[in-house]
Amino acid sequence: MTRAPLFLLVIAPFAAATAGTMVGGPYVVNAGPRNATVCWVEQVSEARLGSAPGRFTNVAPVLQSHKVIYADLKPGGTYYYDVNGSEAGKGSFKTPPEGDADFRFIVYGDTRTRHELHQRVVNAMVKAEPDFVVHTGDLVSNGAETALWPIFFNIEKELLRQTVFFPSLGNHERNNPQYYDFFDVKTPYYSFNWGGAHFVVLNSDFDNAALSAAGKEQFWTEQTRWMEDDLRANQKATFRFLVFHHPPITAVKRRQGENERVAALVPLFEQYKVTAVFNGHDHAYQRHLKNGIQYIVTGGGGAPLYAVDAPVPGVTQKAESTEHYVLVKVAGKTAHIHAIALDGHTIDEADLK
């Protein structure tokens, strides 16, 4: 009799998982040296909308997110999971190693449209076998539209089931609750460590940060204060990487000088000796070098490309309008980036110091 409750606890997740059709995942988020969260999304029903009774022209899925949190894991370990007993529910991930170590990660972004190209970018990234991936925002074209999220997850499936996913907010997410729900994100900004590298993920989408002007200003002040405290506390890290959507430096002429708040953060990046800043938003590959910091724009995940028509003199090192992703290889105290095009050739590479 005493074993019956334990038996029920073991089978309950599998019983719940069969209640709907999996349309997202599985994927791993919030991975630390000793913990990780496995997530997946199911369609449990659908809702219909129309302009007259019986004339339903808009059908949307009813989605339900699931998560399982694992603790007491080992740093630098490889783990395998199965969320529903089927092949589609299986995946694997690595936990971050502690201290200087060898690892590889991918940074990419702006996957919101042109789904065929988004799929080709994902197929290329799968072959690179990253330990984790970082998304610079604009995952979908409207984060408030439920029907778009299964499309994103379907395209990303084979990548997400073999790695760890760290997202950031773009303007197209609209700061919508579905972003926080699906990826188990607790706050719009956060940080994490992987080996000797410290990562700070910010929300640069000021316009959607709050409903009122005063609320937006308060958010920006609090985030900036938090960022400074976080960077100050991690000055011993071998590398300090920042990730957010809107670039402070760009070779896209019509976007230059349009984001004063983000540009105002640059002196803080220099003060706290940031190694590199990764952004999206401007749909191309760009690398700028200013006062020892590499600024890398990787917005080639599928959204319509932008012309890089105004390189910044003495700052812009490379700019190319093409679909791509950025692979970063860390070997102890050295790091090297490769910007890779869809045909496999290297667009650009540089050491990160």
Q: Where are the domains of the chain?
A: 75-352
The pLDDT > 90 percentage for the chain reads 89
- Nearest-angstrom CA–CA distance, 276 and 25: 30
pLDDT of residue 43: 95
Q: How far is CA 182 from CA 11, 25, 96, 227, 261, in A?
A: 23, 10, 22, 24, 28
- Low-confidence spans in the chain with pLDDT less than 50: 1-18
Tens digits of residue pLDDT in 276-307: 999 999 999 999 999 999 999 999 999 999 99
CB atoms within 10 A of CB 47: 12
Q: What is the pTM of this model?
A: 0.92
Q: What are phi and psi of 76, to 5 degrees?
A: 70, 20
Cis check: omega of the bond before 248, within 30 degrees of 0: no
- Within 10 A of 246 (CB to CB), how many other CB atoms are there? 25
Q: Are 257 and 270 in contact (CB under 8 A)?
A: no
CATH architecture of 75-352: 4-Layer Sandwich (3.60)
The DSSP output letter for 291 is: T
pLDDT at site 3: 34
> Nearest-CA neighbor of 140 among 109, 181, 164?
109
- pLDDT for res 331: 96
Task: Note whether 134 and 243 are within 8 A (CB).
Answer: yes
CA–CA distance, 147 with 63 (Å, rounded to integer) = 9
**CA distances (Å), 199 to each of 149, 238, 240, 258, in order?**
26, 11, 6, 25
